[in-house]
A and B are shown apart, each in its own frame.
Chain A
């Protein structure tokens, strides 16, 4: 069975601070995919990134960066110079090959960026 743990339930930062959201996953499969989604108050899930298990390269996209480390089964997400618009719930998710590639979601981290 797959499991995704987001230990941080809520994080509050002041605008322009950097913030890292943690994600730890468990799976016995050697081929899997990791995702981050943003859910603003409107409720619609916004896809941020996908990583496959064979690609441990870290990625940067503007103010967003992701650190994938298989050795610690972690896929952490950092927002640099946070903005009020970054306030949302962020979900980390995992899918494996087969089983229709169902997504297993973490419990989410509520990020609040204060002005």
Chain B
């Protein structure tokens, strides 16, 4: 089956530092990947759509300079949280859509970010 990995699974960083989260599709190619953020006891909110070889499309209210997305290959997208603040602490989940045209998105296991 389609597998998406995320690394790291948990990260704690100090306020003001940057953190990079990787999302990889392990057994399929994904031109399109998605990044979601989930606060405790809330739903998943789409942050941005990541497209291989082009700029990401950010949802309204998401700062593109703060959440840098790089989709450099058909199997890897990265999200960098720059100058992190405690309010950026959240659960970040990526998903990938199989280029073979399947409807489903395949989700990574998530990354729990804590900014102290």
Q: How far is the CA of A18 from the CA of B41 in the complex (A)?
A: 24
Pick the 4 closest A-B CB pairs, nearest first: A45-B107, A44-B109, A43-B110, A107-B43
Q: How far is the CA of A33 from the CA of B105 in the complex (A)?
A: 12
| Across-interface contacts of B110 in A (CB, < 8 A) | 43-44
Residues of A within 8 A of B (CB): 33, 35, 37, 42-45, 47, 50, 52, 91, 95, 100-108, 110
Q: How far is the CA of A44 from the CA of B32 in the complex (A)?
A: 20
Residues of B within 8 A of A (CB): 32, 34, 41-46, 49, 51, 57, 91, 93, 95, 97, 103-110, 112
The answer, among A42, A95, A104, for a CB contact under 8 Å with B103, is A95
Q: How far is the CA of A87 from the CA of B82 in the complex (A)?
A: 36
| CB-based contact A102/B103 at 8 Å | no
Task: Give the Cβ gap from B18 to chain A, nearest Cβ, in Å.
Answer: 23
Q: How far is the CA of A53 from the CA of B67 in the complex (A)?
A: 34
Q: How far is the CA of A104 from the CA of B45 in the complex (A)?
A: 8
| Across-interface contacts of A91 in B (CB, < 8 A) | 43-44
| CB-based contact B107/A50 at 8 Å | no
Q: How far is the CA of A110 from the CA of B41 in the complex (A)?
A: 9
- Count of CB-CB pairs between chains A and B under 8 Å: 52
| CB-based contact B112/A44 at 8 Å | no
| Across-interface contacts of B105 in A (CB, < 8 A) | 101, 103
- Given contacts A95-B103, A100-B32, A106 and B43 within 8 Å (CB-CB): yes
The answer, among A44, A100, A107, for a CB contact under 8 Å with B49, is A100
7 new A-B contacts, CB < 8 A, other than A43-B109, A44-B109, are A43-B112, A44-B108, A47-B104, A100-B57, A104-B46, A105-B45, A108-B43
Q: Which residue of chain A has its CB nearest to the CB of B45? A: A105
| Across-interface contacts of B43 in A (CB, < 8 A) | 91, 105-108
| Across-interface contacts of B57 in A (CB, < 8 A) | 100
| CB-based contact B91/A103 at 8 Å | no
| Across-interface contacts of A42 in B (CB, < 8 A) | 109
| CB-based contact B107/A44 at 8 Å | yes
| Across-interface contacts of A105 in B (CB, < 8 A) | 43-45
The answer, among A43, A44, A50, A100, for a CB contact under 8 Å with B104, is A50
